Amino acid sequence: MTTDTTDSDGASGAAAAGADSAADVPNRITEQFENIKRTRRRRALGWTGLLAFLAFATLQAFAATELLNPDARLETFTDSLTGFFPITNYFGVIPFLDFGQYIEFIRQENLLYDPEIGGLLFQFPPNPVDIYAFFFRELGIFQIFGEAGITLAMGFVGTVLGFPFALVFGTLGSERVTPFPFNFIFRGTMSFIRAIPAIIWTLIFIPFLGLGPASAAIAIAFDTIGNLGRLFVDELEEIEDGPIEAMRTTGASKPQIVFFGMLSQVRTAFIAWTLYIFEINVRIGVTVGVIGAGGLGYVLTSQQNLLRFTNMMATLLAIFLLIISVELFSQRLRSRLRSDDVEMGIWELVTGFPRRMADSMLK
């Protein structure tokens, strides 16, 4: 196709020019023009070949995934979808999505809020004994969010426990810190950890801590070492030599050169990556919940087993809310870390919001 267009374009162009001054076009120009035409034709052939190969490979992959003659049951699927989206008739006539059923399940199963724990904090008049109990006896900061809190806590604990190891492994895995063959001890360890998904690590830790959030949190911590450590290694490849040399000339010791010359260059980036991994870890917290480790993932899979699709959808909504909140929080924090602006105080963050919102809308 491409070749054709070029050809006809070129031909017509040459014809038009030829009408005026065919004799004027010097040889080297026509020669170069022919050259370009040949190159383009060759390139077009190459692309066509590549596309054909890609199509062929895709066909093979379809066959391997049994998508060529799938065991499709469209009716069952539509049935389940109606389960996902229960319809009710408002005022008896207007059909509308029945949100009430979702909310009922979310409340009944404490998906987003645990009233037993939350009641300690929110009561009027405030009771200092209960508030003390909330923070220090029940340790309720995460538990107040019910099942979502458990999932969130799994991601949080995983990130906190994994971070120091990721820092050590990532730093020692960098070629600038550990000379070439030896840094692969650390990089290799991280590759091995990464090769096994968090959900499998959970299975491995079940004999140790039992099936529950504990083994899930440890599994996520393990996963964090592999993934966050890898990001740290990559980030350390990008740093500049200047500050390292400067620290060398001050006569600093090797660990001091690593800390002042290297790590201080990537501090912001490391914090930002850690927040990013925290986002991902909360998501992994949902996944490992599915095999029974608790939290929203576990609720999801039990409702699926009972074929209660409406409840499943309610859980999905809770998951959506949790993930979006975590992402919003972490992204705002990251962009604030990376920007050179003077940081805003909490008060200004809250009171200045309407003005900033208006500014953004007018842009």
Partner 1 sequence: MTYIEVDGLTKRFGDTVALDDVSFEVPAGEFVIVLGVSGSGKSTLLRTLSGLLSPTEGEILIDGEPMVEPRPEVAMIFQQHNIIGDMTAYSNSLSGGVHRSGFLSSVLQLQDEGEKHRALDALDTVGLLDEAEQKARRMSGGQQQRVGIARALVQQPNVLLADEPVASLDPGSAQSVMDYLRTASDDRDLTTFCSLHQVNIARKFGHRFIGLRDGEKVFDGYRDDLTIDVIDDLYGDIDTEGMFVRDDGDADVPTDEVATS
Binding positions for partner 1, rule: CB under 8 A:
240, 242-243, 245-253, 255-256, 259-260, 264-265, 267-268, 340
Q: Does the bond joining 125 to the residue before it have cis omega, within 30 degrees of 0? A: yes
Tokens of 90: 């408002």
Place of tokens 């049935």: 79
Q: Which is nearer to partner 1, 161 or 252 (CB)?
A: 252
Closest distance to partner 1 from the beta carbon of 248 (Å): 5
Tokens of 88: 């009710």
Closest distance to partner 1 from the beta carbon of 34 (Å): 42
Q: Using CA atoms, how far apart are residues 92 and 78, in angstroms rounded to an integer?
A: 24
Q: Which is nearer to partner 1, 174 or 303 (CB)?
A: 174
Closest distance to partner 1 from the beta carbon of 245 (Å): 6
Q: Which residue(s) pair with 94 in the sheet?
A: 90
Q: Which is nearer to partner 1, 221 or 257 (CB)?
A: 257
Tokens of 182: 């030896």
Q: How many helices (H) and strands (E) does the chain have?
A: 18, 2
Q: Which is nearer to partner 1, 89 or 268 (CB)?
A: 268
Long-range contacts from 337-344, C-beta under 8 angstroms, 24+ separation? 337/268, 337/271, 337/272, 338/268, 338/272
Q: Using CA atoms, how far apart are residues 266 and 279, in angstroms rounded to an integer?
A: 20
Closest distance to partner 1 from the beta carbon of 253 (Å): 7
Q: Which is nearer to partner 1, 61 or 246 (CB)?
A: 246
Closest distance to partner 1 from the beta carbon of 330 (Å): 20
Q: Which is nearer to partner 1, 70 or 251 (CB)?
A: 251
Place of tokens 């508030």: 131
Closest distance to partner 1 from the beta carbon of 346 (Å): 21
Long-range contacts from 40-47, C-beta under 8 angstroms, 24+ separation? 40/2, 40/3, 40/6, 41/3, 41/6, 44/1, 44/2, 44/3, 44/6, 45/3, 47/2
Q: Which is nearer to partner 1, 249 or 360 (CB)?
A: 249
Closest distance to partner 1 from the beta carbon of 341 (Å): 10
